[in-house]
């Protein structure tokens, strides 16, 4: 039997996709499934994006593109950077790849040798752990339970960085918790980062345009400009612009890092497709009414979800201020029964909820927090209301 490389064996299938597949199978069997599992934006970009693609097809040269990303796309990204207070970057600081996931993969490959350590908070986005395993990096997990609003404290960060991990990976707003770090919190963490110059910092902030309650988005570089030598900002068009299938991710950081990503690109992908580049330029530099409208719609849906969850005795749920996820602590249900089914943990809970009420959520253990589950709330309002009603009924039936 021919063997595959060990790194493939280390990659686990995504827990989110496992739930989504189960939900799909139930739907095919005729059940009225409400799917809160996948983080899909559930809307399309504005018509100007499609117009740009049609024009690009008409004037296509059929040639390879740039390994770094086309100049007009880099410039559109730089304009966004300036708008969030991260100015002074040039094209040489940037690179484009096939989604933020691919940017992260490139950054892990660029920064981590086998056996090096990457530190990040739990709950974490699942792929952090999986990509670390593929590149053979060790992970240093920093537990941020609901009692501390799922947020990393400066003291925790200080203790973690004292262990000199090669990379510290930060995610704001957070998937899966939806929590957002305010200006003062970012400033306090940035101060700690300054104290530890031996660690690269990646800020995976792809939901930076989806921040609620007027809180605003803040980066470590805004607080401590000297950190520009070490901080890499990661962005994506997937969620904000309703373009997950177009696969556009971007980064801005030190030139040496951008150059490494360009080198990896030149061996992995050469370039993202030219028609995709045209769509990305149009999305970033055209009218912003779709992302703006969606941000306020999601803020309203956040309120709807929180209100429904707060009506359930025993649920603890820090109030998210961004992205489109809510991450309630449902451990009050553990040890109880739904009918004959014993709910021992989050996985049992999600399986029983799906079976009994046809509502799909992702168990928190997929994100390193087994007391919680993730609700992705991008579906239409009526469906959202129905799903929340079913979750309330499920809890009421626990004994």
Interface residues with ligand PMP (CB under 6 A) are 39, 99-101, 125, 171, 175, 204, 206, 236, 238, 244, 249
Nearer to ligand PMP, 218 or 357 (CB): 218
Smallest distance, ligand PMP to C-beta of residue 41, A: 10
- SS3 for the chain is CCCCCHHHHHCCCCHHHHHHHHHHHHHHCCCCCEECCCCCCCCCCCHHHHHHHHHHHHCCCCCCCCCCCCHHHHHHHHHHHHHCCCCCCCHHHEEEECHHHHHHHHHHHHHCCCCCEEEEEECCCHHHHHHHHHHCCEEEEEECCHHHCCCCCHHHHHHHHCCCCCEEEEECCCCCCCCCCCHHHHHHHHHHHHHCCCCEEEEECCCCCCECCCCCCCCHHHHCHHHHHCEEEEEECCCCCCCHHHCCEEEECCHHHHHHHHHHHHHHCCCCCHHHHHHHHHHHHCCCHHHHHHHHHHHHHHHHHHHHHHCCCCCECCCCCECCEECCECHHHCCEEECCEEECCHHHHHHHHHHHHCEECEEHHHHCCCCEEEEECCCCHHHHHHHHHHHHHHHHCCC
Smallest distance, ligand PMP to C-beta of residue 249, A: 4
The CA-CA-CA angle for residues 94, 234, 20, to 5°, reads: 135
Nearer to ligand PMP, 146 or 173 (CB): 173
Nearer to ligand PMP, 175 or 277 (CB): 175
Nearer to ligand PMP, 137 or 352 (CB): 137
Smallest distance, ligand PMP to C-beta of residue 151, A: 15
Which residue is closest to ligand PMP by CB? 99
Contacts of 66 (CB under 8 A, 6+ apart): 271
Smallest distance, ligand PMP to C-beta of residue 280, A: 11
Smallest distance, ligand PMP to C-beta of residue 237, A: 7
Smallest distance, ligand PMP to C-beta of residue 72, A: 20
Smallest distance, ligand PMP to C-beta of residue 80, A: 15
Distance between CA atoms of residues 343 and 345, nearest Å: 6
Smallest distance, ligand PMP to C-beta of residue 317, A: 19
Nearer to ligand PMP, 18 or 385 (CB): 18
Nearer to ligand PMP, 345 or 365 (CB): 365
Distance between CA atoms of residues 348 and 361, nearest Å: 12
Nearer to ligand PMP, 200 or 395 (CB): 200
Smallest distance, ligand PMP to C-beta of residue 14, A: 10
Distance between CA atoms of residues 204 and 114, nearest Å: 22
Nearer to ligand PMP, 196 or 291 (CB): 291
Smallest distance, ligand PMP to C-beta of residue 395, A: 27
Nearer to ligand PMP, 105 or 394 (CB): 105
Smallest distance, ligand PMP to C-beta of residue 131, A: 10
Q: How many other β-carbons are positioned within 10 Å of the β-carbon of residue 284?
A: 23
First vs last C-alpha separation in the chain: 51
Nearer to ligand PMP, 219 or 236 (CB): 236
Task: State the burial class of residue 92 (Cβ atoms within 10 Å of its Cβ: 0-12, 13-18, 19+).
Answer: middle
Nearer to ligand PMP, 112 or 343 (CB): 112
């Amino acid at each position: 039997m021919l063997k595959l490389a060990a790194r493939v064996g280390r990659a686990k299938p995504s827990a989110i996709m496992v739930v989504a597949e189960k939900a799909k199978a139930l739907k095919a069997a005729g059940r009225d499934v409400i799917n809160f599992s996948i983080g899909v934006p559930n809307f399309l970009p504005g018509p100007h994006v499609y117009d740009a693609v049609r024009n690009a097809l008409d004037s296509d040269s059929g040639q390879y593109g740039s390994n770094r990303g086309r100049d007009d796309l880099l410039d559109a990204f730089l304009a966004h950077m300036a708008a969030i207070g991260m100015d002074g970057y040039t094209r040489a600081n940037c690179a484009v790849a096939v989604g933020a996931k691919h940017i992260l993969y490139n950054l892990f490959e660029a920064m981590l040798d086998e056996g090096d350590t990457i530190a990040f908070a739990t709950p974490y986005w699942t792929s952090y752990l999986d990509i670390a395993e593929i590149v053979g990096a060790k992970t240093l997990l920093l537990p941020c339970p609901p009692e501390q609003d799922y947020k990393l404290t400066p003291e925790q960060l200080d203790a973690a960085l004292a262990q000199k991990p090669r990379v510290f990976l930060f995610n704001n707003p957070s998937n899966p918790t939806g929590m957002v770090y305010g200006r003062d919190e970012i400033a306090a963490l940035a101060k700690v980062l300054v104290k530890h110059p031996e660690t690269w910092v990646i800020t995976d902030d792809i939901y930076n345009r989806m921040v609620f309650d007027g809180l605003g988005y803040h980066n470590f570089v805004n607080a401590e400009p000297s950190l520009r030598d070490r901080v890499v900002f990661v962005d994506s068009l997937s969620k904000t612009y309703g373009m997950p299938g177009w696969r556009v991710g971007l980064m801005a950081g030190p030139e040496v890092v951008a150059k490494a990503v360009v080198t990896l690109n030149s061996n992995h992908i050469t370039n993202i497709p030219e028609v995709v580049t045209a769509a990305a330029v149009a999305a970033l530099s055209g009218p912003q009414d779709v992302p703006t409208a969606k941000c306020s719609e999601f803020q309203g849906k956040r309120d709807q979800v929180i209100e429904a969850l707060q009506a359930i005795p025993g649920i603890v749920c820090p109030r998210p201020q961004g992205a489109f996820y809510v991450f309630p602590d449902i451990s009050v249900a553990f040890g109880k029964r739904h009918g004959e089914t014993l709910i021992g943990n989050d996985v049992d809970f999600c399986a029983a909820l799906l079976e009994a009420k046809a509502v799909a959520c992702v168990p928190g253990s997929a994100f390193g927090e087994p007391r919680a589950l993730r609700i992705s709330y991008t579906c239409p309002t009526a469906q959202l209301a129905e799903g929340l009603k079913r979750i309330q009924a499920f809890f009421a039936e626990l004994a």
